[in-house]
Structure 1
Amino acid sequence: MPEAAPSRSWRRAFDDLGQGWRQRPLWGYLGWQDIKQRYRRSVLGPLWISITMAVVATAMGILYGALFGEDIRTFLPYVATGLLIWYFINGCILEGSEVFIANEGLIRFLPAPLSLHVYRLVWRQTLFFLHNLVVWGILAAIFRPPLGWSLLLAIPAFMLLIVNGAWITVLTGIIATRFRDIPPIIASLANLLFFVTPIVWQYDTLLKNPAVAERARIAELNPVLHFVEILREPLLGEPIVWHHWIVVGVITVAGCIAALVCLRNYRSRVAYWV
C-alpha cells in the first residue's frame, strides 16, 4: 500500500487541483444555481445581469463622455467594454477573498477538495461575464467598431483572466481565512483600483497629450490596466499593444507560483481556520 503524502507536499496540492477539476459537473451545477438563486422569483431572472450592466454603462458613458468631451459613438463602447472586464476582475477579487469563509459549512462537513470552491467561483464569474457580453454585442452592432481578425485574441485574453482569477482566489482566500481583516482591506483597495484603471477615462488620450504623457505612464504601474487592455483592444478592434500581454504573462506566472506555494503549505489548515 503506497505511503500517504505529508499534508505539506506538492503532490497533495496538485491532487487537490486535479480532484477539483474532475468534479466539473458538481461545481458547474453549483455555479449556475448560485445565479438562479440570486434572481429567484424575478420575472426576468438572470437577464437582470445584462440589464444592470447596460444601464450602468449607458449612464456612465453619457455622463463621462459629456464631461471629457468624447465622441459618444466610440466612448460608450469603450466604457461598456471596460465595465464588462472590470466586473469579472472585481468579482474574482472581492468574492475570492471570502470564498472559503462563505463555504465554511461545506468545508467542515463535506470531504471535497478546496479547489472545488475556487472553480465554482470562477465559473460563476464567467457566467456573469457571458451574460454581460450581450451588452457588448448590442453596442458592436449599433456603433460598428472596426473589428478584424484580432478579435480572436479575445479568447486567449479571457483565458488569461480566468487563470489569474483562479490564483487570486486561492491566494487571497487562504490568507483571508487566517486573517479576517483582509476582505475589508481588499474591498477598499478594489474601490480605489476602479478609479485608477482606465475604465471611464481613456489612457491613450492622455498619452497623446505631450503635457501629461510622461506622467500618464505612471498608470501602467496599475496591473489591472494591462488585464483590461489585453481584452478590450480586440473587442473594440483597436491596435494590439503587445507589452500589455508581456506584463500579464509575467504576473500570471508569478501569481500561479505564489498561489501553489500557499496551497501547498496551508491547504490542510483552512478547515480549522474557517
Structure 2
Amino acid sequence: MSTVPALGMPSKSFRRALADLGAGLRARELWALLAWQDIKQRYRRSSLGPLWITVGMAVTALALGVVNSALFGTSISTLLPSITTGLILWNFMNGCIVEGSQTFIDNEGMIKQLPAPVSVYALRTVWRQALYLVHNLVVYLLILVVFFGNLSHPYRLVEKAGAPLHPGLSWEVVLALPGLALLLFNGAWVVLLLGVVSTRFRDVPPVIQSFITMLFYATPIMWSMDQVRVMNQGSEDGFGSLAVQVLQLNPVYHFVEIVRAPLVGQQQSWTHWAVAGAVTVVGWALALAVLRNYRARVPYWV
C-alpha cells in the first residue's frame, strides 16, 4: 500500500478522507466567497440582482397554489404555504443533486490549478444552494404574514371527511431549524458522492436529469399525502393503501416533511426523522468510502 510521506498515513484511508473534509471546512472563506461570486455572476448587470431568485420562487409558488387549489377544491390559504415551503426545500435538494453531479466537472480549471481539498468544491456547491434557500425563505415569510390567521389555529389541508386535522402554528416552528441543519448536512454527502461518480462516469449527469422530474412528481410538493389518503379511503382492492406505502418509500418526502411540517403548523412524525437519520448514516458512509478510494483521482478524471 502506497503512503504519502508528508502525512505519514496510507493514501487510501478514511483518515485521509476525513482530513480532506476537515481541510475543506477550514477553507470556509474560500468556498463561501466562490459560492457568493457564482450568484453575483449569474445576475450580473441585473437591476434586482439575486432578488430575482425570490421573485421567481414567489411567481412559481403562487401559480401552482392557485391552479392546485382550483383543481382539488382546497383552500388556498392553507395549500399555498404548504406548496411554497415544499418548493423551497425541493429547489435546494434538486440543486444539490443536479449541480452536485457536475461540481467537479464545472470546476475543472480550478482543480487543475489550485491545490485545494476536493471537498472545497463540494462545499462551494452546497453553500451556493444554501444561499438560494435563504433568498427563497423570504417568500415563505411573506406567505406567513398573509395567511397567519388561517395557519395559527387547527385546520384541514383537505376539506373532506376523514382528512387529518393539523394543530396549526405554535412554538414547534423552531423544530424546523434542526431539520434544516440535517438537510444541509445531507446536501454535502450528496454532492461529494454524485460529484466523484459523475466525474468518472460522464453518463451519470444525463441519467440524473432524466429521472429528477419523475422524482419531483413522486414527492408531495404540488400535492399532499392528505389528498392521497383521503382519495383512497375505503379502497376495497387495497391499491390505495399500497400507493401510500410506495410513496412513503421516497426519502425526499421525509426530508421535506421534517422541515415543512413545523413551518406550516403540521404535526411532525418520528417516522420522518427515523428515515432521514438512516439515510444520513448510509449516505455519509458511501460518500466517505468513495472519497477514501477515489479522491486523488478526481484531478485526472476531469
Shift of 1:180: 0.2
TM-score (norm 1): 0.97
Q: Kindly report which structure 2 residues correspond to 1:212-231, keeping only aligned pairs within 5 A, or say none.
A: 212-231=240-259
Equivalents in 2 of 1:125, 1:197: separation in Å? Answer: 19
**How big is each residue's C-alpha offset from its partner over 1:190-241, in whole Å with a ceiling of 9 and x where there is no partner?**
1110101000111122223413344222200111110111111011011111
Equivalents in 2 of 1:5, 1:180: separation in Å? Answer: 31
Superposition RMSD in Å: 1.2
Which is richer in helix?
1
Structure 2 unmatched runs, 5+: 153-168
**How big is each residue's C-alpha offset from its partner over 1:2-51, in whole Å with a ceiling of 9 and x where there is no partner?**
76323211121111101110011111111111111100000000000000
Structure 1 unmatched runs, 5+: none
Identical counterparts, % of pairs: 53
2:298 is matched with 270
Equivalents in 2 of 1:161, 1:216: separation in Å? Answer: 24
1:112 and 2:116 aligned? yes
1:158 and 2:162 aligned? no
Asked if the contact 1:98–1:176 (Cα under 8 Å) also holds between the matched residues in 2, the reply is yes
The one of 4, 12, 18 aligned to 2:22: 18
Asked if the contact 1:207–1:214 (Cα under 8 Å) also holds between the matched residues in 2, the reply is no
The worse-fitting range, judged by mean Cα deviation, of 27-36 and 205-214 is 205-214
1:205 is matched with 227
Equivalents in 2 of 1:32, 1:43: separation in Å? Answer: 17
The one of 271, 274, 277 aligned to 1:246: 274
TM-score (norm 2): 0.88
Asked if the contact 1:174–1:270 (Cα under 8 Å) also holds between the matched residues in 2, the reply is yes
Equivalents in 2 of 1:14, 1:243: separation in Å? Answer: 30
The one of 112, 119, 144 aligned to 1:140: 144
Equivalents in 2 of 1:224, 1:240: separation in Å? Answer: 15
Asked if the contact 1:206–1:213 (Cα under 8 Å) also holds between the matched residues in 2, the reply is no
Equivalents in 1 of 2:55, 2:7: separation in Å? Answer: 55
The one of 32, 54, 60 aligned to 1:28: 32
Shift of 1:189: 1.2
